[in-house]
Amino acid sequence: MQTWGHKHRASARTALLLILGSSAMVEGIPAFFAASRYGVALLVLHGGRVRGQDDHHLCRLVHNSTAGLQRVRLGLLERYGEVIPGVSISLVVFWLGPVI
């Protein structure tokens, strides 16, 4: 096995930190560990609170996005918007399908 003399200072701990850092709930992990110390009831209560907040924020996001999109007018694309994907799929299946 040939080594190239190129060494990384990153360790498994750094890789784990990068993986966990990409999670949306990584900041809540210590709070769950802290709640587990006081029993299952507090852990379940904390999980329910986090779930309730997530649901609330997602509902607000959908409501605000829907209200904003109702203000946008796209003309003919609103009426015939389904035609574009249908034609695209038909072209791929019937035109490029036999070639591939």
Q: pLDDT tens digit string along 9-19?
A: 667 677 666 66
Q: Report the phi/psi class of residue 11: left, alpha or beta, with left for phi > 0 and alpha for psi in -120 to 50.
A: beta
The CB-side HSE value for 32 (13 A sphere, CA atoms) comes to 11
Kind and range of the H or E run holding 75 = none
Residue type for position 100: I
DSSP 46: H
Per-residue burial over 71-80, b = 16 or more CB atoms within 10 Å of its CB, e = otherwise: eeeeeeeeee
What does the pLDDT look like over 66-96, one tens digit per residue?
Answer: 999 889 888 888 888 889 888 888 888 887 7
What's the pLDDT score for residue 22?
59
What does the pLDDT look like over 2-40, one tens digit per residue?
Answer: 555 656 666 767 766 666 665 666 677 788 788 888 888
